[in-house]
Amino acid sequence: MTAMLKLCWLVVCSALSVSSANPPHIVLIVADDLGWNDVSWNNPDISTPNLQDLASQGVILNSSYVMPVCSPTRGALLTGYYPYHLGLQHGIIKGDTPSFLTTTKSTVSEKLHDNGYTTHMVGKWHLGMCNWTYTPTYRGFDTSGGLLGGSAGHYDHMNGNGFDFRINTTVDHSYDGIHSTEAYTDIAINAINGQDPDKPMFLYLAYQAAHTPLETDPAYEAQYSSVVNDNRRIYSGMVTQMDDSVGRIRKALEDKGFLDNLVLVFISDNGGDVNNGGNNYPLRGSKSTYWEGGVRTPAFVYSKTHLDVTGYTQSNFLHAVDWYPTLLEVAGVSQSDNIDGVSQWDMIKSQGASARTEFVYNIDEIKNTAAIRVGSYKLTKGSPGSKSDIYDVPLTNRRRRAVRNRATSVKYRLFDIDADPTESRDLSRRLPDLVDQLKAKLDTLSATFTPAHVPAADSNGKPRNWGGVWTPGWCAGDL
């Protein structure tokens, strides 16, 4: 071996060993009900300077897809499986039902924990709480703090008639009267400050903002005093409040010395709820629908040192199921599970091609609805939106209008998303052969579904039985 080759070999091996010995800290931030048009890089009327700064120095993901509602997205995100393979395809997990994310699938937190990461979960869980087995500290997280259910008052932390705020497994009232965004940020900063700098950290920070109830500190609402619509004005304040909190998280990471070895991901769990202040313009539809506005959301990846190319927008698509293998690759953790997700790290890091050419929006055998994407074509089965097929197109910060489809008996719809991102032209009658091909593919995919797990409400889970607190411990079993 020549001296030059020997030197190159030593440099390469040294770099590999440093990478292996110093896996990056990973921060995964999930916003709640944040619409396409609810960030400043898509809408200058919204103030999100901290998010925009991180996004502009990283990679903006322009085709980041999630599920229409929150529990299915969170299940896909943490396991790498489509919800129709988890039994979560039919909707959200309700607190008084014995439903949960199955423990037969590993979570990314469990994988990272088993490979030396300290793991923290802060914020909204919404993946089951009828038994402790299905809660964060039993699913791979060393610590947790926040809401086990799906929604609660941002100040009183009351979910219906039950209190829902814990630090690890202990009911905690120390954040009563403090907005959930501020509370979760404080807990996350405490986790960062207490982190052993010699160990890699995985922080999963799932904000409640901007989910209902629409509540924000008055100073944030005042920034949007010109917005006439009450819901939109408060919602916008909630988004800016979350943005300020992301700035606080960044400062804590910098003060701890973590920014130089960090990968930070930001996504939303579904599209904006246009009936409650959200805005997905120009995309069609709302949260809870298969329209693009319900499932295509703002996202970016930031890193000072782990991205080969920065400051650009990546338009190739990525699905929520891809984050599980992607984050494991970032951490240098191998995985051999037969999951639905594929690692997109090369696409993100090096401006490469997407590792997938198709994905499943959802398959719901109870509603008899589904949607898939193959290349630029999207096939939907049944109604992609409400039963009346009315969808909302928010036109500005102040107003929106309802638009009705022409009467049609077509069970399947076909859209070319690249050419028609607003889904205004149904091509199913024009391209019947393509519809047949995609229907055949959908039938094949549908044959692999796990039946949706939709148990009835159980009075044993009511907070009145547990001192007015939502409390695990009243159900058993698994899927």
| Residues annotated as catalytic (active site), given as ranges | 70, 126
Q: How far is CA 380 from the centre of its chain?
A: 22
Helices and strands (DSSP H and E) totals, the chain: 11, 21
The span from the CA of 222 to the CA of 388, in Å, is 36
Identify the CA nearest to 313 among candidates 13, 55, 46, 127.
55
Cβ-proximal residues to 118 (8 Å cutoff; 6+ apart), any chain: 142, 195, 196, 199, 200, 201, 202
Alpha helices in 211-337 (DSSP H): 218-222, 230-256, 292-295, 323-331
Strands 318-319 and 64-65, sheet pairing:
parallel
The span from the CA of 368 to the CA of 478, in Å, is 25
Cβ-proximal residues to 34 (8 Å cutoff; 6+ apart), any chain: 209, 210, 239, 268, 272, 278, 297, 298
CB 338: neighbour CB atoms within 10 A?
A: 6
Strands 369-374 and 377-381, sheet pairing:
antiparallel
The span from the CA of 74 to the CA of 67, in Å, is 9
Cβ-proximal residues to 174 (8 Å cutoff; 6+ apart), any chain: none
Rounded to 5 degrees, what are φ and ψ at 133?
-55, -25
Cβ-proximal residues to 61 (8 Å cutoff; 6+ apart), any chain: 267, 299, 300, 301, 314, 318, 348
